């Protein structure tokens, strides 16, 4: 019985590390990255994971060792208390502070890349979060939003691959968060504010759009889909949407639009 508690505490780092080692084999790791900048985001994630993982394992092993070594059944000597160690306190203050400072500086470029260096291009589309769907709007042939030739759609975002894309993100009602897991994009959306996200996708395919901010009872169903396709396919799709919206007589092929 005397060593059970220390072994139990040892199980924490063992299971903790095992979870992370096993996760990728059970397809529970980061979603496939299909963006140009995603590598940098993933690198930051891995860097911080290794750093915190190292400290976590070290701390847990130290706890285990103290519990094992100073078990009260084998150590009959009374405990000795000590009070204050100036140098120790300095070490455990300066070391984490230095690490935090390092991370703060190390991530600056990634932050600036995704939040500050907005490309000087016209928005490809505007995404408006709403309980519980994503309303989409594309500028028409005039290339400007908020004019009579805008193209309206919902939940089914199409975007060109291999080029810089700028999206305007807004909310119509409450807080939402526009999350494109495969593109490593996540932006909180605040009613009354206009936010921008930009990225360059480098693979075609269909990926999820999800809401990452609890926005009401239907939050979990606020799911959309982004279709990344070649410029030609995208233009053709957009032209078809445009035609449907501009037509005065019913088109016969509207069903799968």
Partner 1 sequence: MTQPFKSTRNARFLVILLAGLAALSGCGRSEPARYHLNMVEMTDKGISAQYQVEIATILEAMFGTPDEPFVLPETGLDINKLRLASGPAWSDEEGTNHGLYRRHCAHCHGVTGDGAGPTALFLNPYPRDYRQGKFKFKSTERAAQPTAHDLREILRQGIPGTAMPSFRLHPSREIDALVEYVKYLSMRGQMETALANFVMFQLGEGESLSQYANVYVDELLSPIAEGWAGAEDQVIHPDPQLAPPPRNERDPEALAASIAKGRELFYGTKANCLECHGPTALGDGMTTDQDDWSKAVKQFAANHDQVTPVELGALPPRDVRPRNLRLGVFRGGRRPIDIYRRLHAGINGTPMPAVGPATPGATGTVTPDQIWNLVDYVLSLPYDATTQEPALLSNVRERL
CB of 250 to partner 1, least distance (A): 5
Concatenated DSSP letters of 37-58: THHHHHHHHHHHHHHHHHHHHH
CB of 253 to partner 1, least distance (A): 13
d(CA 196, CA 158): 17
Name the burial class of residue 58, with classes exposed (0-12), middle (13-18) and buried (19+) by CB atoms within 10 angstroms of its CB.
exposed
43/194 with CB nearer partner 1: 194
CB of 46 to partner 1, least distance (A): 29
d(CA 99, CA 54): 13
Q: What is the DSSP letter of 142?
A: T
3-state SS, residue 190: coil
CB of 183 to partner 1, least distance (A): 18
CB of 83 to partner 1, least distance (A): 35
33/133 with CB nearer partner 1: 133
d(CA 68, CA 56): 18
d(CA 39, CA 17): 23
Binding site for partner 1 (CB under 8 A): 116, 118, 130-133, 135, 140-141, 146-149, 152, 154-156, 192-196, 217-218, 221, 223-225, 242-250, 255
42/156 with CB nearer partner 1: 156
10/125 with CB nearer partner 1: 125
CB of 21 to partner 1, least distance (A): 29
Hey, what's the torsion of the CAs at 30, 32, 38, 42, to 10 degrees?
A: 30
Q: Give all strands of the β-sheet with 125-130 in edge-to-edge order.
A: 151-154, 133-138, 125-130, 164-171
CB of 15 to partner 1, least distance (A): 22
* Among candidate residues 215, 207, 208, the one with its CA nearest the CA of residue 177: 215
């Amino acid at each position: 019985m005397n060593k059970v508690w220390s072994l139990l505490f040892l199980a924490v780092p063992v299971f903790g590390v095992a979870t992370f080692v096993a996760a990728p084999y059970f397809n529970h790791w980061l979603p496939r990255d299909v963006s140009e900048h995603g590598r940098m985001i993933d690198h930051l994630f891995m860097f911080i994971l290794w750093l915190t993982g190292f400290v976590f394992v070290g701390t847990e092993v130290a706890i285990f060792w103290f519990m094992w070594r100073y078990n009260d059944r084998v150590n009959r000597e009374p405990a000795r208390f000590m009070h204050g160690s100036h140098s120790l306190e300095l070490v455990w203050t300066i070391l984490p502070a230095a690490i935090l400072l390092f991370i703060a500086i190390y991530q600056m470029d990634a932050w600036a890349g995704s939040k500050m260096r907005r490309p000087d291009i016209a928005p490809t589309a505007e995404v408006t979060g709403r309980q519980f769907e994503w309303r989409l709007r594309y500028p028409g042939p005039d290339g400007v939003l908020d004019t009579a030739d805008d193209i309206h759609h919902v939940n089914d975002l199409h975007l060109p691959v291999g080029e810089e894309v700028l999206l305007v993100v807004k909310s119509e009602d409450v807080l939402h968060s526009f999350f494109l897991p495969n593109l490593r994009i996540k932006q909180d959306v605040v009613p009354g504010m206009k936010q921008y996200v930009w990225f360059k996708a480098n693979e075609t395919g269909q990926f999820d759009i999800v809401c990452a901010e609890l926005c009401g009872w239907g939050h979990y169903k606020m799911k959309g889909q982004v279709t990344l396709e070649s410029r030609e396919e995208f233009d053709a799709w957009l032209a078809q949407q445009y035609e449907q919206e501009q037509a005065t007589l019913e088109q016969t092929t509207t069903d799968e639009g």
